[in-house]
A and B are shown apart, each in its own frame.
Chain A
Amino acid sequence: MRRTNYSIVALTILILCSISISYGQINISNLAEVQYGKLPDESSDFFPSIYDRTEIDYRKKGFSVSTTLEQYYTTKDGRSYFDLSQLALGYKKKKWDIKLGNFYETLGRGMLLRSFEIPGALLEDIGFRSRNYFHRDMLGASVKYKTKKATFQVLRADILNNVLPPTFDRAERRTDLVTAASAKIKYIKGQEVGIIYMRRDQASQNYISALLNGSVSGLDYYVEYATSIGEDFAGIHSNENGSAFYTSLTGYAGSFSFTAEYKNYKDFVLGAGINEPAAGVKQQTYRVLNRSIHVSNPINEEGYQLDLFYNLNDGTIINFNHSLAVNNFGGQSFSFRQFFLEVQSSIGEKVEYKGFIDYSQDPFKGESNRFSIGLYSDIEIKENLRFLPEVEYQSFSRSSSDVYNFNMLLGVNVKSKYFFSILGELTNDPFIIKDGQSERLYLGGTLRYKPNYKNTFQLFLGERRGGPQCSAGVCYEILDFKGVELRWIGKLRI
């Protein structure tokens, strides 16, 4: 990075600190990650890299100024960058919420527009091999007026295509400009009706969405229908017949609760990541299931999800989930089916556990009879010392292969400040093993030290399996890694 850039950053921090001490409040957070490693199958030698992201936020009586700096350095040509990735001004007071610059926004349930970030997640694409923070924000302006009875909003902004790292020009990463207006009115207590209009400049396409949201006699409902309402002229990608329908119903009585969802999406992928319709499948944090989550395809998908919860009131909670997603491509139908059962409970006062069993059919991935099972425990050895064993197993058939995935984690938690774990993952997946091998083992250890909420240090050593990763309802691909990695997350309030 050029010396002038550092000078500007240092000067900015100094000025903000001075202002803050007298007039306001500054929050600074920093995420730094140092790696020395490579992809396990990469022919090159291990190489070093540093990623750093600093957020600086100043706020006083409803006004805010915030900026995010990202930098990545490696010895490999063409991958390093220093980027002022976000700069925002905001005013939030009583009924008004005004944003200028970079911001996040979701309209309705994201069928037309959803921007977001995944806290702590870094993206590394196999093609570009540069690392950047997982955020998909908007650059423009938004004005929201919110009362107890109604919410009105207008916005106009460029969408970030975050698959392209900051080594690309800003113009290449933000090619879609959207303009949107929405109005939501609570016509009677707890009942809301809304309408959203959105226009994409790149495709000269217009969309409209109508929604109902409310609660009646212990039942919460949400209904939204979005559709294209025509284009000005033939665009780059047209959704002229596109539509999306989503509804959910949530109910609870005593110890029993349920959520039912239905979706029907037709040609409703808007641009490079403008929208993110509800997936209608369960978000999984278990490793084998997280990697196998059905990624919904709004080009063509219809399905439902049913989630049932029951609390036995002795600390035992049972969760059953069933989902179906049907995709039709080229006259062929692919039906994803999943049945999931989870029980979490305790034995005495010192042992807590949760176990799951899952059966799925995933013809789109070519995986049939996918069976998964796992058990996580939390055992108190003595005060401030806990043993956390986790074990999972998965098997399925793909083409003529019987595939299995097995993983085991052994973790120790001391005073919630120190956490040490060893994770071993064994697989015979033909997509992963090398020629001549029948199995592949990934083995890695993690040491985390969290002296206080302002600092977290994490050291990883070994080999880590990549693949699909789903976090906060968003699925993306992470790469395998072999080497050593040190991460520090620090916070500062002035």
Chain B
Amino acid sequence: MRSIIIKVISLSFALVSMQQMVTAQEIEDFILDDINNEQVSLSEIKGESLTIIDFWATWCKPCTKAMPKLNKIYNQYKDQGVAMIGISCDGPRSISKVAAVANTLNIDYTVLKDINCDVMNSYQYQAFPTLIMLDENNEVVYVHEGFSNGDEKEIEAAIVEHIK
């Protein structure tokens, strides 16, 4: 048992050390249905300067708490080449509520449905909500997991930092 603990801890330290080697992550183009049942690709709706993708679900309380604040940020920066996309990871049990919740929260940005959560899983994001910010080359320049009140200030600061 002791040797196993040492090996697992060693592996963990190795991974932590390797985190210093991080390079930009690129999000490849994808196609999903929007809440009007139309297929939309990332390349069609991406922003000229920045694209913000928020992975959420209707049953996730921090997600629905964050969305009105993200919508406010979107309306503030959309004229500066910033696009925002909400990708719902609701499965069969709750996907019918996506449009209702988005409407209730008065969301103006594009909301897409990903019943298999393929896009989020492909890049190993596992927390709800997860917000990623892409530059004009679809490279991830900022990631924010979870949401607590006040986090919107940090997200806005990241937009200001990365907007061109």
Interface residues in chain A, defined as those with a beta carbon under 8 Å from any beta carbon in chain B? 1, 6, 17, 25, 27-30, 32, 34, 48, 50, 52, 54-55, 57, 59, 61-62, 64, 71, 73, 75, 92, 104-106, 108-111, 114, 116-117, 119-120, 146, 148, 186, 189-192, 213-215, 220, 222, 248, 250-252, 255, 257-259, 261, 276-279, 283-285, 307, 309-311, 313, 315, 317, 352, 354, 378, 380, 383-384, 386, 413, 416, 450, 453-456, 472-474, 488-494
Contact = CB atoms under 8 A, between A and B. Distances in A.
A413 B148 contact: yes
Contact of B18 (A310, A354, A494): A494
Interface stretch (B46-54, B76-84, B117-125): B117-125
Contacts of B22: 454, 492-494
B21 interface: yes
Given A48-B1, A257-B104, A489 B149 contact: no
Given A73-B1, A110-B92, A30 B101 contact: no
Contacts of B95: 109
Contact of B4 (A50, A55, A494): A50
B57 to A, nearest CB: 7
Contacts of A472: 57, 59, 89, 91
A88 to B, nearest CB: 11
Contact of A450 (B1, B28, B35, B146): B146
Contact of B91 (A146, A473, A489): A473
B12 A32 contact: yes
Nearest to B60: A285
Q: Which 10 pairs between the two chains have the least Cβ-Cβ distance?
A: A473-B93, A110-B92, A252-B103, A257-B100, A248-B96, A283-B59, A119-B126, A309-B104, A109-B92, A453-B143
A106 B117 CA distance: 10
Given A148-B39, A454-B19, A114 B104 contact: no
Given A104-B116, A378-B149, A252 B124 contact: no
Most buried by B among A32, A213, A250: A250
Contacts of B148: 378, 386, 413, 416
B38 interface: yes
Please report whether the interface of chain A is mostly helix, strand, loop or mixed according to DSSP.
strand
Contacts of A17: 18
Interface in B64-93: 65, 68, 89-93
Nearest to A108: B92
Contacts of A252: 99-100, 103-104
A473 B18 contact: no
Interface of B: 1, 4-5, 7-8, 11-12, 15-16, 18-19, 21-26, 28, 30-31, 35-39, 57-61, 65, 68, 89-97, 99-101, 103-106, 115-118, 121-124, 126-128, 143-146, 148-151, 154
Given A64-B122, A192-B37, A220-B35, A250 B91 contact: no
A50 B5 contact: yes
Given A104-B118, A258-B100, 17 more contacts: A6-B7, A29-B126, A50-B8, A73-B1, A110-B92, A114-B91, A190-B37, A213-B37, A276-B93, A285-B61, A309-B101, A311-B106, A380-B149, A384-B150, A416-B146, A453-B144, A493-B23
B101 A114 contact: no
A494 B23 contact: yes
A30 B15 contact: yes
Contacts of B127: 119-120
15 contacts: A25-B25, A27-B25, A29-B124, A55-B124, A106-B91, A109-B95, A259-B100, A278-B96, A309-B100, A450-B146, A456-B145, A472-B57, A490-B16, A493-B25, A494-B18
Nearest to A64: B122
Given A278-B92, A285-B61, A453-B145, A488 B124 contact: no
Contacts of A114: 91-92
B26 A25 contact: yes
A380 B90 CA distance: 31
Given A220-B37, A490-B16, A1 B96 contact: no
Nearest to B68: A315
B150 A416 contact: yes
Contacts of B61: 285, 354
Contact of A27 (B5, B57, B124): B124
A259 B12 CA distance: 45
